[in-house]
């Protein structure tokens, strides 16, 4: 038997980061968590196919597992961006923040084994050894060890005030020992801890999930989920309209008018659409040409023309959904002067899983050609583009990024996306000033001062011209009228909870 549980000691409290709130309860559950009755199966259409055979170390795959209620970590984020209990029921810091001790709740894996401190420590050790490292712990040297049966000590090389936030990232979800192979991959089929168990995979086109009746948070009200991965946005909207699916992710704004008004749901997010410029190879290695691209682009043409009112022209990396950002923003520093493109040829890549992105690329193509560039476009699905994006094969990339997606901390995404050692650095930026500012921000434990430091780093990043923010986005979900309890999550980590049903 485990030792009696302590009361919640202290989560890491950050100031509210986002406006908006969840539907239903924070985890999507309703007031009746017993899950009495069989419950109808849910039919869900997701936009992004798994790229790593559902291994949580694949960026998209981790969030697929999270959105569908398959996997979970020690903590999760509530609507205000605060780390709250998940597999850990409480935690406290030691050694000035270099170590954190997490006390586990009573929970089981979907294969029947108990969630023990030893199993959790092994899972976190596997994640820390992954190559590349999950973005949430990019640049963080992390070790984990069991302390008795029900406590895990997680230690970092330097004090990390946001470690409980990091551990909420889906890439750091906990799986049973049988999930981990010798090849570094993770097999989540029947080895996770969430309310729904992944039971069958049909390549990268479909998956079957069944309710896990032993879930610590109570039985889900739906008996299972049938998932289709539909990269074409029009097809997702059509499937919702014809009743073939109950929930459709990422409804294209161009399709909103074709849907019944009561099936369209929107929420402010911290997601941006941006143009990332390759600073290591090709035309945009030249800071002057990066400046020329920035001056040529009219962001209002993207926000208004492409997103049709479901976005605002970008003001920086942190948008209006982050209510603290506007009052702390400073002007970009160190910008180069624009130079004449003189017909320089560039290739812009993007993906069509979000149909607004190819449209955005076409708008940028016209604007940049008018400024003197010769522009080619490369459009694929994300699953067929990601490896080439990270291999520096394009001059620029039109992509979207939720600035709070990795941890809910405004600094962590800067480390993963804009520093020399960042694991998702689409601009391949390596700038000593940026690295120092990000490191300074990471070291600050006061939430307000951490935000101030993040904005200083933002100014330096924008000053390099490595990224051109285009639009701050809203998420648009299609939810059938028979569905109750779907989760409207500003962090885009959850979609289905224990209370989601039809």
Instruction: Write out pLDDT tens, residues 89-118.
Output: 999 999 888 999 999 999 999 999 999 999
**Phi, psi torsion values for 417, nearest 5 degrees:** -105, -20
Write the DSSP assignment of 189-204 as a string of letters: TTT--SSEEEEEEETT
> How far apart are the C-alpha atoms of 241 and 259, rounded to whole Å?
6
pTM of the model as a whole? 0.77
Residue with the two structure tokens 């070291």: 443
CA–CA separation, 169 vs 184, rounded Å?
19
Q: Is the pLDDT score of 34 beyond 50?
A: no
Q: Which residues pair with 146 in a beta bridge?
A: 152
Answer yes or no: is pLDDT of 2 > 80.
no
Quick one: what percent of the chain has pLDDT higher than 90?
72
The neighbour count for residue 153, using CB atoms within 10 Å, is 17
- Which of the two residues, 159 and 350, has the higher pLDDT score? 350
pLDDT band for 38, please (50, 70, 90 cuts): low
Q: Are 381 and 49 in contact (CB under 8 A)?
A: yes
pLDDT in tens, 59-72: 789 999 999 999 99
Read off the pLDDT band of 183 (50, 70, 90). Answer: confident
- Predicted confidence at residue 405, as pLDDT, reads 77
pLDDT at 26 over 80: no
Contacts of 35 (CB under 8 A, 6+ apart): 211, 213, 218, 219, 220, 221, 498
Whether pLDDT at 56 is above 70: yes
pLDDT > 70 in the chain, percent = 92
Do residues 262 and 482 make contact, with C-beta atoms less than 8 angstroms apart?
no
**Full strand arrangement of the beta sheet holding 99-104:** 88-94, 99-104, 151-156, 142-147
Beta-carbon contacts of residue 30 (< 8 Å; ≥ 6 apart): 24, 221, 484, 485, 498, 499, 501
Which two three-digit tokens encode residue 64?
A: 């697929």
Which pLDDT belongs to residue 352? 93
Domains of the chain: 268-473 (3.10.105.10)
Express each pLDDT in 350-363 by its tens digit: 999 898 999 999 99
């Amino acid at each position: 038997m485990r030792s009696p549980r302590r009361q919640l000691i202290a989560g890491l409290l950050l100031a509210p980061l986002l406006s908006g709130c969840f539907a239903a309860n924070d985890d999507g559950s309703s007031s009746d968590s017993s899950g009495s009755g069989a419950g109808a199966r849910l039919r869900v259409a997701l936009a992004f196919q798994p790229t790593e055979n559902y291994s949580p170390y694949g960026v998209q795959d981790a969030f697929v597992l999270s959105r569908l209620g398959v996997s979970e970590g020690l903590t999760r984020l509530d609507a205000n961006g605060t780390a709250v209990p998940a597999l850990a029921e409480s935690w406290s810091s030691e050694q000035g923040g270099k170590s954190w001790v997490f006390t586990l709740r009573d929970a089981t894996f979907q294969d029947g084994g108990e969630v023990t401190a030893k199993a959790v420590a092994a899972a976190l050790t596997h994640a820390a050894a992954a190559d590349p490292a999950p973005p949430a712990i990019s640049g963080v040297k992390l070790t984990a060890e069991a302390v008795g049966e029900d406590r895990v000590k997680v230690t970092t090389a330097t004090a990390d005030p946001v470690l409980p936030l990091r551990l909420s990232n889906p890439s750091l979800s906990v799986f049973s020992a049988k999930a981990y192979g010798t090849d570094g991959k993770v097999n989540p089929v029947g080895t996770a801890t969430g309310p729904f168990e992944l039971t069958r995979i049909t390549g990268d086109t479909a998956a079957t999930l069944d309710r896990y009746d032993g879930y610590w948070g109570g039985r889900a009200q739906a008996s299972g989920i049938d998932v289709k991965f539909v990269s074409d946005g029009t097809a997702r909207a059509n499937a919702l309209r014809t009743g073939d699916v109950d929930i459709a992710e990422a409804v294209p704004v161009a399709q909103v008018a074709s849907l019944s008004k009561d099936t369209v749901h929107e929420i402010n997010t911290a997601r941006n659409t941006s143009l990332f410029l390759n600073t290591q190879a090709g035309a945009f290695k030249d800071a002057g040409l990066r400046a020329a691209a920035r001056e040529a682009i009219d962001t209002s043409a993207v926000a208004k023309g492409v997103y049709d009112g479901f976005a605002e022209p970008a003001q920086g990396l942190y948008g209006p959904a982050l209510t603290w950002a506007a009052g702390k923003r400073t002007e970009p520093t160190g910008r180069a002067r624009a130079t004449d493109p003189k017909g320089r040829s560039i290739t812009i890549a993007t993906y069509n899983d979000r149909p607004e992105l190819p449209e955005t690329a076409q708008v940028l193509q016209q604007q940049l050609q008018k400024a003197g560039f010769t522009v080619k476009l490369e459009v694929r699905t994300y699953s067929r583009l990601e490896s080439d994006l990270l291999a520096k094969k394009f001059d620029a990339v039109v992509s979207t990024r939720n600035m709070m997606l990795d941890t809910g901390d405004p600094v962590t995404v800067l480390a993963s996306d804009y520093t020399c050692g960042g694991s998702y650095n689409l601009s391949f930026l390596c700038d000593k000033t940026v690295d120092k500012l990000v490191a300074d921000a990471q070291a600050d434990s006061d939430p307000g001062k951490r935000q101030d430091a993040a904005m200083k780093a933002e100014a330096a990043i924008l000053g390099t011209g490595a990224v051109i923010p285009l639009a701050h986005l809203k998420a648009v979900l299609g939810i059938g009228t028979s569905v109750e309890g779907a989760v409207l999550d500003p962090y885009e980590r959850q979609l289905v909870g224990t209370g989601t049903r039809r």
